[in-house]
Amino acid sequence: MQPETSAAGRTPRTVSIVLGIAGGALDLGVGLLILASSPMASTETGMGVTWGYVGAILLLLLGGVVLGSTLQMVGMRRTPRRRSEGFLMIVYGVLMLAAGLAMLGRLLPMMQSSDASGGAMIAVGLGMVYVGATMRRIHMSLR
């Protein structure tokens, strides 16, 4: 016997899937953009690798993890772990907020990307945090 899923429970999941795909694609795209830009920041990490390269690899990893988690969420028909999915969305949203703020603030030499991609990361990050908190709240109210 399957538990009945309300429309209020399905909507945050659908939005989180869309945000996960958008956020993962954005991270991958910006990471590739940073790698493809010809002059990397001249500041090195001390190991002969530039900060731009390290930042691009971290963004590629974040994008891969976000997309992988989203695809796993899509593959699951039932959602017994809505609370943990909400927690992951909050974590990914906070990471995207941090990356977007670093891009806009030019805090690190690795974040030499455009303001539009930083703003988009902040917007998607805020959306992820909101939807993740909503998913956790719905789970708590269904108990």
- Angstrom distance (rounded) from CA 138 to CA 127: 16
What is the C-alpha R_g of the chain? 17
The answer to whether 73 and 20 have CB atoms below 8 angstroms apart is yes
Residue 5 maps to a domain:
no
Domain for residue 135, yes or no? Answer: yes
Query: Does residue 85 fall inside a structural domain?
Result: yes
Q: Is residue 2 in some structural domain?
A: no
Q: Which stretches in the chain have pLDDT values below 50?
A: 1-4, 41
Give the separation between CA 108 and CA 106, rounded to whole angstroms: 6
Q: Are 126 and 92 in contact (CB under 8 A)?
A: no
Instruction: Kindly report whether the global pTM for this prediction surpasses the value 0.85.
Output: no
Is 110 contained in some domain? yes
Q: Which pLDDT score is estimated for 136?
A: 73
The total number of structural domains that make up the chain:
1
Domain of 20?
11-35+44-142
Residue 138 within any structural domain of the chain: yes
pLDDT in tens, 2-14: 444 555 556 777 8
**Domain annotation covers residue 19:** yes
Across 110-137, b (16+ Cβ under 10 Å) vs e yields: bbbbeeebbebbbbbbebbbbbbbbbbe
Looking at the DSSP bridge assignments, the partners of residue 50 are: 44
Q: Is residue 6 part of a domain?
A: no
Rounded CA separation 58/62 (Å): 6
Can you give the pLDDT at residue 45? 56
Task: State the pLDDT at residue 49.
Answer: 67
